[in-house]
Structure 1
Amino acid sequence: MDFLKSAVASAISKGPAFGYTFGDRVDLNDSIWTLHNGTKREDGSKCSIFSFDITANKSRLPLARNALRKLRTLRHPGVVKILDTVETETYIYIATERLSPLSWHVKRKSLTEETTKWGLHNIAKTVKFINADATSIHGCIRPASIFFSESGEWKLGGFDALSSVKEDDSILPTYGSLIPDAGRYMAPEISKAGWEIIKQNPTHAVDAYNYGVLIFEVFNGSYHSSDQLSQMKSIPPSMHQSYKRLLNPNPKSRMSVGQFLDQGKRIGGFFQTPVIQVTDDIENLGLKADDERNELLSKLDEVADDFPADFFKMKVLPELLKSVEFGGGGAKVFSTVMQIGQKLSDDEYETQITPVVVRLFANPDRAIRVCLLDNFPLMIDHLSQKLVNDKIFPQMVTGFTDVAPVVREQTVKAVLTVVPKLSDRVVNGELLRHLAKTANDEQPGIRTNTTICLGKIARNLGASSRAKVLAAAFSRSLRDPFVHARNAALLALAATADLFSEDDCATKLLPIMCPSLVDKEKLIRDQAQKSVDIYIVRIRKFAASMPDTVLPPPNLATGGSATSPRMGTPSNDNSGAGWAGWAISSFTNKLASTSGQMQSNSATNGAADQRSSSVPPTTTSSSKPPVPLASKPGMLLHSSKSAASTPTLTSPDPVTAFDDEAEEFNDDWGGFGDDDSKGQEEEDAWGTPVISKPATTSYDDKGEPDFAGWLAAQSSGKKTTKNPLPKGLAKPSASSSKTTRPVIGGRASTTGSATTRKVVVPPKKEAKKEQPKANEEEEEGWGDAW
């Protein structure tokens, strides 16, 4: 084989340029030609090459040259298509379309009856053309002269002895005996009188007899002699009568192949099969009426298994595409195209179907557009991302704003198919803009489908804007008057719960879902319950992983120099005072070690007993001031260590302890943490809080303000100068001549060495009991601090 290839290549190099490359050799019996698979050098397309070695087979050179000449001049759809030829003194090469010998399939008996009839029908049409229109005799009708094309059609070759009866020097009478294995296929009259007798007989006589032998061989698998021809068991019964007439020993009474063809095409004839009818009608598909076209397509579906797969690719598919694009084939034809397209390779699909699909998307016909969108799932895998993103989608988006609702709806549905092929910029830009319009469409079905679409493409959206877009879209759908639109929003929220943060779930999504729990439709209420449960479970799981508090430990707040105050522990039983029970027990636990009763100071003004409960108690002791235990609201303050100056306490009444009517709290909790970090001349009057110690431990004021002393002095009209008042608690001085600046949150502005504070007091509620004037001033100071 390698030697043959090298010899062929050497011969080509010495002769005229031949733009084809030889491949594997194909077995071809009963022929003067050697058949090779080949490729065209220019584009790599497949072909077949018939080669004839003149030096090795010089006696049959007239037959080879006759075949070369006839192939160049004879053109018919049933004849082997010639691509190129070259002839030198040593060889003849004929390049044709890619072929495979029919004899392979005959020997294997791999042909079905319907396929065999279809092939015989094609050969009969070609022989009729040669005998009647070309007034010629083929003289070599046999399986070795018939080939399968790439489309699976039977093509006639073997034109070695093709002769015209009008020629005086016709090749058949002179060289007919040189045809390989001529005796086996020879007609009876030629066996008796030789090839010269053909001039006296009808033109069709030789070819009709050979065609009858062909029928026997393709149905039986082999043919050895004329004695077998009477065995018609394998031949279809409908052909028997005409088959006998083809083999009539008398050439003048012999039926022509043309007559055999007409006989078979009659109503109920052996050539009236769905396969043959489809083949004849498919070429005129674009000219047929709608009912005829629909009938043909239904037949095409029925006989799909009888046709070679390549026939659909090479013959049926191009005709269907032309019918869709130019012949008004419509949706049904395009659906058939998609079914055939599933059997194509990616290269075949890109070559045959993709260009037509791109052109059809630019077609303004709404029926074509809907058909394309319906079949998008079948074609999307064969289309490249660049093609979809740059050419198809820009044409597709016109459907979002089409006046026909069916086009808008099909366009929304097609988004699910096309979105994996789109770039992130297109998805998060143009596509979302169009979906925002269809989400407010006048058709409730389109609004519903848009919500479903958003839920299914949620993971294709950009992570930065996804939560915002989905929350806005689903919130809009939950207010939709159409019940199925609301249901779609709840389903979408349940399906996309994992795409939202826990904060969004709790603060944005649950609030918009909760109204659906009391929707008028039970369908919505049930689905809302399921969706809300999904979010609640997720939020609970997240909350369980959160820390108990983000506030710093008390020992950190005090610089770690003291022990943190003991707080009460929430009680799990139900015997307490409800939700406030733990706070009350904490308050009472602090005072558990104190006995006796509070002694009011008789030396002070009697109005002291009527002060607000938020004002600290006063004492007459002048030894050391009380020390605040904590700078946070709600912490208890203890007085000094002396038994003489320590008031006796009783457990507070839970009712009066939380009397909101008696106190007014400012919501500005941050005032206690302000740090005078701008270099004021005064020291921070609040200092660092000191943690409480047992009663046996002495108290050190550590520079803390004397609250009790100050309050007692205010009641008796005296001034306390041991410790300055805290910032924000100093009363305004009416006689001050310095520049006055307002104090907010307990801070004062300093000018020179003297400071004047102006207290901004929020408005207070009107108390139930009228308080003394001195007490009102004290309450104003607390209100400012809080």
Structure 2
Amino acid sequence: MEFLKSAVASAVSRGPAFGYSLGDRVDLSDSIWALHNGTKKEDGSKCSIFAFDINANKSRLPLAKNALRKWRTLRHPGVVKVLDTLETDTNIYVATERVVPLGWHVKRQALNTETIKWGLYSLSTTMRFINEDASSIHGNLRVSSIYTTESGEWMLAGFEVLSSLKEEDPAIYKYGGLLPDSSRYAAPEISRGGWDGLKNQAIHVTDSWNMGTLMYEIFNGYFMSSDQLTQTKSIPPQMGTPYKRLTQTNPKMRLPIAHFLEQGKRSGGFFDTPLIRCSEFIENMGVKDEREREEFLQNLEDTKDQFPEEFFKAKVLPELLKSVEYGGGGPKVFSVVLMIAEKLSDEEWEASITPAVVRLFASPDRAIRVFLLDNLPKMIDHLSKKVVSDNIFPQLVTGFSDVAPVVREQTVKSILVIINKLSDRQINGDLLKYLAKTQNDEQPGIRTNTTICLGKIAKNLGSHTRSKVLVAAFTRSLRDPFIHARNAALMALAATAEVFDDNDCATKCLPAICPALIDKEKVIRVQAQKTLEIFLARLKTLTANMPESALPPVDANGLPNPTGAGGVPRMGTPQTDASWAGWAISSFTKKLGVTGEMQPEGSGPMTQAEENGTTLGTPTVPVTVQISSRPGSSRSASASELHRQAVSSPSSTVRNNYATSLVADNDDDNDMDAWGDMDDTPKPVVEEKPKPSSIGKSGFGRTDLTEDDVINSFTRKPKSALPKGLGKKTPVSGSSSTGMATKSKPVISRVVASKPTAKKAVLAKKTEEADGDAWGTDNWDVDWK
């Protein structure tokens, strides 16, 4: 075998230029031709090559030359298609479409009844053309003369004795006896009177007889002599009578193949099958109207399991793709295409379906676009990343700006399908730009789906854009009047909580979620509670390893002590058991230049006023305060005693007014309108030490300062406005779209020993700075259009 292959290749190389390469030999028949798989040198496409060795078969050379001449001139869909021929002194080559011998399937009994009927129908159509239209006799109709294409169609060859009765010297009369096994397949009249006896017979008699023997051989798998033809048990009952008429020994009673074809095509006949109807319709699909096309497609979906896979892949699929792209087949046709494509390999998908999909995405037909977007999940696994990012995505994003809402909505949904096949530049650049537009779409459903889309693709966003974009998008959706858009924002925040750091969770996400807790819709309130719990748990995890304080330790003299050795708590640091008022008084005391140490001495019994809640909150830990007016002079007092004296001096009116102002200012913290810049941290206040010359009416800096003077300085109601943070502030301009007016947080100011005019200037300056720092939520609602 290898020697024959090399000899053939050597002969081809020595002859004229032939644009095809020979491969393995694949035939198993008794034909005069040796069939090889081949490839076209120019593009590597598949083909078959029929080779005839002249030196080995000189006696049959007339048969090969007659076949070559007829093959070149005969054109019919049922004939093996010739691509090129080459004739040398030693060989004859015929390059054709890729085919395989029908004998392969017959010997393996791999053909079902429906496929055999379809094949016989194709052969009958071709033979009617040869007998009636071409007025010719084939004379060699047998299994070895029939081949199947990649689509499963039966194609006719074996034109060794094909003769036209219009010729002066028909080849069948002279060379019919040279055919391999000619006596086994010869009709009874030829066996009796030779091939010349055909001159007195009708043109169809030989081919009709051979059609009968072919049917017997296909259904039974073998044919040895004409005595077997009477056994019809394997022939389908519907074809029994026509088969008997084809194999009549009397040539005048023999049924012409054209009549055999007409009988089968009648309604309910043996050729009236779904597979044959489908084949007929596909070949003429371009001239069918819309109603006929829809009926055909419906039947095709119902009977798809009855057809050979090769028929769908190589015959139906190309015709359907042509109809979709150029014949106006529409989504209905393309749905059948995808049904067939499920059985294709990745290589077949890339070769046949992918180019069509890329072209269809560029189509202006909205129905096709919507269908492609709906069925993108079925196609995405077969599309490479390069095809999606370079060819499909640039066409797909045009749907974000389409005037039809359904196209915009389906485009947003399709992002979830293709996101893994897009580049980082496309995701963090072009895609976010288009999603920003759809989040402001006039259709509430599109806005909702955009929020859902952002939540699901959060892990695909870049780390530098993820937090900024998601916070801005989700907080915007939380203000959406559409209930489902708000619910989607809350669910998206809950699903993406892990992507936010502690600062974003505390300063951006939680403030945005809290208003939803009092939403008018219960479903929003319930979801807001769930989302809030997720973020609180997230913050608890993030802050679990944080230090207890960021302040450096101090020594006994109040100086920074980085080593921490012998350090004591700073005056003004909140203690575990201290109330807010106690911490505030400690802060005021520190601002007076007071130095001292907090020494726990045990808690004393509560007074009646404390039990009734009329005090500002007495510290539970007694504190010894040492007040220094000049070097060498000091006085000590218990913090509890100091506080009791403060709250009991001059009058209860002053005390109640002071408490009321604290309570009122504390309520402002719960007002969303009072929230300011959540990203800024409080700026440290620089203490101003009293100068020797700054002794005024207030008494600060005096050497004869008594304890009562100090207490009265805390309880005396100031004539001017309260320090920053202890009174209501006028809302500043620049409130957000949610109606959140911005106010500064209450801050307890430190009292600085100075002249009255200097003190007022400092307070005015701090108030002005606080007003300038306040801004609304719009300042951190990122505009990412």
Q: TM-score range by the shorter chain?
A: 0.7 to 0.9
Q: What do residues 230-268 of structure 1 show as CA deviations (whole Å, max 9, x unaligned)?
A: 222221111111111111111122111111111000000
The CA distance in 1 between the partners of 2:370 and 2:255, in whole Å, is 54
Root-mean-square deviation over aligned CA pairs: 3.8
Q: What letter corresponds to residue 185 of structure 2 in structure 1?
A: Y
The CA distance in 1 between the partners of 2:639 and 2:375, in whole Å, is 86
Aligned residue among 554, 562, 567 for 1:564: 567
Q: CA deviation at 1:284?
A: 2.2
Q: Secondary structure at the match of 1:84?
A: strand
Aligned residue among 572, 586, 590 for 2:599: 590
The CA distance in 2 between the partners of 1:332 and 1:359, in whole Å, is 17
The CA distance in 1 between the partners of 2:130 and 2:534, in whole Å, is 80
Paired residues of 1:208 and 1:247 also in contact (CA < 8 A): yes
The residue that corresponds to 1:380 in the other structure is 380
> Aligned runs of 1:459-498 on 2, under 5 Å?
459-498=459-498
Q: Secondary structure at the match of 2:543?
A: helix
Structure 1 pair 354–713 and aligned structure 2 pair: CA distance change class (3 A): same
The residue that corresponds to 1:445 in the other structure is 445
Structure 1 pair 207–533 and aligned structure 2 pair: CA distance change class (3 A): same
Paired residues of 1:135 and 1:203 also in contact (CA < 8 A): yes
Aligned residue among 753, 757, 760 for 2:758: 760
Q: What letter corresponds to residue 138 of structure 1 in structure 2?
A: H
Aligned residue among 606, 618, 626 for 1:637: 626
The CA distance in 2 between the partners of 1:484 and 1:5, in whole Å, is 73
Matched, 1:712 2:703: yes
> Aligned runs of 1:193-208 on 2, under 5 Å?
193-208=193-208
> Aligned runs of 1:139-288 on 2, under 5 Å?
139-288=139-288
The residue that corresponds to 2:424 in the other structure is 424
The residue that corresponds to 2:734 in the other structure is none
Structure 1 pair 387–563 and aligned structure 2 pair: CA distance change class (3 A): closer
The CA distance in 1 between the partners of 2:448 and 2:301, in whole Å, is 36
Q: What do residues 398-438 of structure 1 show as CA deviations (whole Å, max 9, x unaligned)?
A: 32222221111111112222333333223222322222222
The residue that corresponds to 1:320 in the other structure is 320
The residue that corresponds to 1:752 in the other structure is none
Q: What letter corresponds to residue 563 of structure 1 in structure 2?
A: G
Structure 1 pair 591–525 and aligned structure 2 pair: CA distance change class (3 A): closer
Q: CA deviation at 1:389?
A: 3.0
Paired residues of 1:150 and 1:314 also in contact (CA < 8 A): yes
> Aligned runs of 1:537-616 on 2, under 5 Å?
537-555=537-555, 557-558=560-561, 563-565=566-568, 590=599, 592=601
Aligned residue among 624, 641, 652 for 1:652: 641
Q: Secondary structure at the match of 2:481?
A: coil
Moved more, 104-113 or 454-463: 454-463
The residue that corresponds to 1:783 in the other structure is none
Q: CA deviation at 1:64?
A: 0.9
Matched, 1:36 2:51: no
Paired residues of 1:125 and 1:261 also in contact (CA < 8 A): yes
Question: How many residues in Structure 1 have an aligned counterpart in Structure 2?
Answer: 659
The CA distance in 2 between the partners of 1:439 and 1:281, in whole Å, is 47
> Aligned runs of 1:89-104 on 2, under 5 Å?
89-104=89-104
Q: CA deviation at 1:149?
A: 0.8
Q: What do residues 672-692 of structure 1 show as CA deviations (whole Å, max 9, x unaligned)?
A: 499xxxxxxxxx999xxxxxx
The residue that corresponds to 2:72 in the other structure is 72
The CA distance in 2 between the partners of 1:8 and 1:656, in whole Å, is 122
> Aligned runs of 1:667-678 on 2, under 5 Å?
669-672=684-687
The CA distance in 2 between the partners of 1:709 and 1:301, in whole Å, is 98
Paired residues of 1:118 and 1:275 also in contact (CA < 8 A): yes
The CA distance in 2 between the partners of 1:638 and 1:131, in whole Å, is 130
The CA distance in 2 between the partners of 1:322 and 1:175, in whole Å, is 45
Paired residues of 1:28 and 1:34 also in contact (CA < 8 A): no
Structure 1 pair 655–433 and aligned structure 2 pair: CA distance change class (3 A): farther
The CA distance in 1 between the partners of 2:485 and 2:40, in whole Å, is 60
Structure 1 pair 644–380 and aligned structure 2 pair: CA distance change class (3 A): closer
The CA distance in 2 between the partners of 1:326 and 1:648, in whole Å, is 99
Structure 1 pair 428–639 and aligned structure 2 pair: CA distance change class (3 A): closer
Q: How many percent identity over aligned positions?
A: 59
Paired residues of 1:50 and 1:94 also in contact (CA < 8 A): yes
The residue that corresponds to 2:715 in the other structure is none
Structure 1 pair 418–11 and aligned structure 2 pair: CA distance change class (3 A): same
Moved more, 226-235 or 126-135: 226-235
Q: Secondary structure at the match of 2:304?
A: coil
The CA distance in 1 between the partners of 2:645 and 2:151, in whole Å, is 101
The CA distance in 2 between the partners of 1:570 and 1:69, in whole Å, is 109
Q: Secondary structure at the match of 2:530?
A: helix
Q: What letter corresponds to residue 11 of structure 2 in structure 1?
A: A
Structure 1 pair 757–309 and aligned structure 2 pair: CA distance change class (3 A): same
The CA distance in 1 between the partners of 2:461 and 2:639, in whole Å, is 65
The residue that corresponds to 2:105 in the other structure is 105
The residue that corresponds to 2:766 in the other structure is none
Q: Secondary structure at the match of 1:83?
A: strand
Paired residues of 2:626 and 2:636 also in contact (CA < 8 A): no
Q: CA deviation at 1:92?
A: 1.2
Q: What letter corresponds to residue 760 of structure 2 in structure 1?
A: P
The CA distance in 1 between the partners of 2:397 and 2:562, in whole Å, is 66
The residue that corresponds to 2:3 in the other structure is 3
The CA distance in 1 between the partners of 2:191 and 2:91, in whole Å, is 33
Q: CA deviation at 1:166?
A: 1.6
Q: Secondary structure at the match of 1:271?
A: coil
Q: CA deviation at 1:367?
A: 1.3
Q: CA deviation at 1:762?
A: 2.7
The CA distance in 2 between the partners of 1:396 and 1:246, in whole Å, is 60
The CA distance in 2 between the partners of 1:709 and 1:427, in whole Å, is 65
Structure 1 pair 662–266 and aligned structure 2 pair: CA distance change class (3 A): closer
Q: What do residues 2-58 of structure 1 show as CA deviations (whole Å, max 9, x unaligned)?
A: 222221222223222222211111133221111111111111111111111111111
Structure 1 pair 450–655 and aligned structure 2 pair: CA distance change class (3 A): farther
Q: What do residues 273-292 of structure 1 show as CA deviations (whole Å, max 9, x unaligned)?
A: 00000000012223322221
The CA distance in 1 between the partners of 2:578 and 2:409, in whole Å, is 61
Moved more, 361-370 or 343-352: 343-352
Moved more, 437-446 or 347-356: 347-356
Q: CA deviation at 1:747?
A: 12
Moved more, 353-362 or 255-264: 353-362
Q: What letter corresponds to residue 330 of structure 1 in structure 2?
A: G
The residue that corresponds to 1:622 in the other structure is none
Q: CA deviation at 1:559?
A: 7.2
The residue that corresponds to 2:330 in the other structure is 330
Q: Secondary structure at the match of 1:110?
A: coil
Q: What do residues 327-362 of structure 1 show as CA deviations (whole Å, max 9, x unaligned)?
A: 221111011112223333444333333333233223
Paired residues of 1:19 and 1:41 also in contact (CA < 8 A): yes
Paired residues of 2:27 and 2:100 also in contact (CA < 8 A): no
Q: Secondary structure at the match of 2:39?
A: strand
The CA distance in 2 between the partners of 1:104 and 1:205, in whole Å, is 28
Q: CA deviation at 1:649?
A: 5.8
TM-score w.r.t. the length of structure 2 is: 0.77
